[in-house]
């Protein structure tokens, strides 16, 4: 049936997939697939596969499909056909080469953004089916090596970036000291039991984006928030295990995060501008641990800024003048409904918001999320080529005057920077927090 010749540039050599695949036997593949399909998996896999009528209406939902000149292999259902569909049809009797391809498709050709769930007439969740494939490849030990390395880091250090236990408070104290030159009475309160808010961030912030901690500290102090940050592991809200299919590890990470907040007896957890972490603490990790909703309320940065501005706790000195546009991240918009709040915040701090199209729930993915950017350099061009449509969308909004691109999500931010550079967009990619820090009144 496959009448499409594979393009020469198509298969990317990944050490993690290759080395894992070298150890596979047909029996192990079969056993693992059947375990996931019949023991772990339930009705959703069966119903989705039985209900799909192969109509192809999901195709145009996918940025990979659109960016690859409507190549049907990149359509959501096309990806299922090449992976889980075939595994089910052959009852797990697939070979090593098939599994390598399946691992690559599931890990690097789908961002689990769930846009296609809004285009399928039946609401079939292809992102979920791709997660099932990732689960199988995880159990077969063939996850791409870069993202597997971050999962290892989670497992050992409970953070994504191998930040050592002493480095973490050290970094916070360093940023506290830096920020005190601007706001002399500023504190980053560590381990303050009974604070209203625990602020949690993702591993890359202390590792190489410490200025984000600085900005958050200025904001918290200016707004007079009763907040704290933990000095122990559990400060990292990120979760690459959710994306590798390592559900057990995901559970460990999320438990530690929630337990840290519980130990500090905070009323809620406020998290930085990260999308996947929101998905993990708000939707996926909590459910794995048996909580329908997070045991401690989760407030994403967008919602937190919204509350601060609405309540007048932050005053704007002078609005950001350069015209901005907003990229709606899948995990907080399609996954959390924060699109109108984000617009409220941006209108409060910026003079001119120019909408890109499509927007809100229908925005195109950044092509970095879902763990794809975490699969590292081998797949950088796959991400960039796989999201030409994003560049086209951004060029269109730039033509209408937008110069700054706001992306309130770490993965989106990094992915859009790559798009920005490669396609020569020359836009300024910023977090909402970057602009908020810049335009807010900072009391002495």
Partner 1 sequence: MDALYRFLSGPLAWVSFVVFIAGSLYRLLSMGFLVRRKEKFIFSVMSWKYSFRSIFHWITPFASVNMRRHPVMTITTFAFHICLFLTPIFLLAHGVLWDDAFNIHLWALPNGLADIMTLVVIAGGVFFLCRRMKLAEVRYLTTLSDYLLLIMVAAPFLTGFIAYHQWIDYRFFMTLHVLTGEIMLMAIPFTRLSHMLFAPFTRAYMGSEFGSVRHARDW
Task: Give the footprint of partner 1 on this chain (CB under 8 A).
Answer: 1, 4, 40-44, 46-48, 50-57, 59-61, 65, 70, 72-73, 75, 77-78, 81, 117-119, 121-125, 283, 287, 292, 333-339, 361-362
As a whole number of angstroms, the distance between CA 430 and CA 360 comes to 18
CB atoms within 10 A of CB 104: 25
Q: How far is the CB of 303 from partner 1 (least distance, A)?
A: 11
Query: Is the Cβ of residue 150 or residue 363 nearer to partner 1 in the bound state?
Result: 363
Query: Is the Cβ of residue 46 or residue 315 nearer to partner 1 in the bound state?
Result: 46
Q: How far is the CB of 271 from partner 1 (least distance, A)?
A: 17
CB atoms within 10 A of CB 43: 7
Q: How far is the CB of 2 from partner 1 (least distance, A)?
A: 8
As a whole number of angstroms, the distance between CA 100 and CA 141 comes to 11
Q: How far is the CB of 70 from partner 1 (least distance, A)?
A: 7
Distances (CA, A) of 118 to 79, 201, 229, 327: 17, 30, 37, 18
Residues 6+ apart with CB under 8 A from 182: 218, 442
Q: How far is the CB of 393 from partner 1 (least distance, A)?
A: 15
Query: Is the Cβ of residue 220 or residue 296 nearer to partner 1 in the bound state?
Result: 296
Query: Is the Cβ of residue 55 or residue 262 nearer to partner 1 in the bound state?
Result: 55
As a whole number of angstroms, the distance between CA 140 and CA 18 comes to 12
Q: How far is the CB of 135 from partner 1 (least distance, A)?
A: 14
Which residues, listed in sequence order, are joined to residue 227 by a DSSP beta bridge? 197
Sign of the torsion formed by the C-alpha atoms of 164, 165, 168 and 174: negative
Which residues, listed in sequence order, are joined to residue 271 by a DSSP beta bridge? 200, 300
Query: Is the Cβ of residue 70 or residue 173 nearer to partner 1 in the bound state?
Result: 70
Q: How far is the CB of 68 from partner 1 (least distance, A)?
A: 11
422 burial level (CB within 10 Å; 0-12, 13-18, 19+): middle
Query: Is the Cβ of residue 146 or residue 306 nearer to partner 1 in the bound state?
Result: 306
Query: Is the Cβ of residue 6 or residue 321 nearer to partner 1 in the bound state?
Result: 6
Burial 125-141 (b: 16+ CB within 10 A, else e): bbbebbbbbbbbbbbbb
Query: Is the Cβ of residue 256 or residue 284 nearer to partner 1 in the bound state?
Result: 284
Q: How far is the CB of 370 from partner 1 (least distance, A)?
A: 16
Query: Is the Cβ of residue 167 or residue 361 nearer to partner 1 in the bound state?
Result: 361
Q: How big is the CA angle at 236 (ends 235 and 240), to the nearest 5 degrees? A: 160
The number of residues in the chain equals 444
Query: Is the Cβ of residue 100 or residue 339 nearer to partner 1 in the bound state?
Result: 339
Are residues 87 and 35 in contact, defined by beta-carbon separation less than 8 angstroms? no
Q: How far is the CB of 194 from partner 1 (least distance, A)?
A: 30
Q: How far is the CB of 227 from partner 1 (least distance, A)?
A: 25
As a whole number of angstroms, the distance between CA 143 and CA 68 comes to 24
DSSP conformation letters of 219-261: HHHHHT--EEB-SSTT-B---SHHHHT-HHHHHHHHHHHHHHH
Which residues, listed in sequence order, are joined to residue 228 by a DSSP beta bridge? 198
DSSP conformation letters of 58-78: TGGG-HHHHHTTT-GGGSHHH
The DSSP element (H or E) to which 270 belongs, if any, is strand 268-271
Q: How far is the CB of 388 from partner 1 (least distance, A)?
A: 17
Query: Is the Cβ of residue 215 or residue 359 nearer to partner 1 in the bound state?
Result: 359
Q: How far is the CB of 3 from partner 1 (least distance, A)?
A: 8
Half-sphere exposure of residue 343, counting CA atoms within 13 Å on the CB side? 11
Are residues 288 and 251 in contact, defined by beta-carbon separation less than 8 angstroms? yes
Query: Is the Cβ of residue 77 or residue 368 nearer to partner 1 in the bound state?
Result: 77
């Amino acid at each position: 049936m496959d009448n499409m010749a594979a393009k020469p540039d198509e298969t990317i050599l990944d050490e993690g997939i290759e080395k894992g695949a070298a150890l596979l036997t047909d029996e192990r593949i079969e056993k693992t697939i059947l375990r996931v399909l019949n023991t772990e998996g339930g009705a959703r896999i069966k119903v989705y596969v039985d209900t799909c009528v192969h109509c192809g209406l999901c195709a145009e939902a996918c940025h990979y499909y659109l960016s690859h000149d409507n190549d049907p292999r990149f359509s959501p259902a096309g990806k299922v056909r090449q992976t889980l569909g075939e595994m089910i049809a052959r009852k797990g009797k697939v070979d090593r080469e098939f599994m390598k391809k399946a691992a690559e498709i599931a890990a690097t050709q789908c961002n689990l953004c769930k846009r296609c769930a809004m285009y399928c007439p039946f609401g079939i969740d292809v992102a979920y089916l791709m997660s099932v494939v990732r689960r199988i490849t995880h159990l077969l030990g063939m996850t791409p090596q870069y993202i597997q390395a971050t999962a290892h880091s989670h497992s050992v250090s409970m953070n994504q970036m191998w930040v050592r236990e002493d480095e973490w408070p050290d970094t916070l104290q360093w940023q506290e000291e830096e920020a005190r030159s601007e706001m002399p009475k500023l504190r980053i309160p560590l381990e303050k039991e009974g604070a209203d808010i625990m602020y949690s961030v993702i591993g890359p912030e202390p590792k190489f984006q410490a200025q984000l901690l600085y900005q958050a500290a200025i904001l918290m102090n200016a707004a007079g928030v009763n907040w704290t940050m933990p000095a122990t592991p559990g400060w990292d809200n990120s979760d690459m295990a959710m994306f590798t299919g390592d559900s057990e590890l995901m559970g460990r990470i999320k438990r530690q995060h929630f337990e840290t907040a519980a130990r500090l007896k905070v009323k809620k957890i406020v998290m930085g501008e990260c999308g996947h972490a929101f998905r993990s603490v708000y939707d996926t990790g909590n459910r794995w641990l048996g909580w329908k909703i997070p045991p401690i309320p989760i407030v994403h940065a967008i919602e937190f800024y919204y509350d601060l501005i609405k309540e007048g706790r932050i005053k704007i000195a002078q609005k950001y003048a350069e015209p901005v546009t907003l990229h709606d991240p899948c995990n907080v918009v399609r996954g959390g409904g924060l699109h109108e709040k984000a617009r409220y915040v941006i209108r409060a701090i910026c003079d001119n918001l120019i909408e890109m199209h499509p927007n809100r729930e229908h925005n195109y993915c950044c092509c970095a999320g879902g763990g794809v950017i975490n699969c590292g350099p081998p797949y950088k061009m796959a991400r960039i080529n796989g999201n030409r449509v994003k560049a086209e969308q951004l060029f269109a909004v730039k033509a209408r005057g937008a110069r700054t691109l706001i992306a309130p999500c770490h993965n989106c931010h990094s992915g859009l920077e790559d798009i920005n550079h490669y396609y020569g967009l020359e836009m300024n990619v910023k977090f909402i927090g970057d602009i908020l820090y810049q335009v807010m009144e900072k009391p002495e």
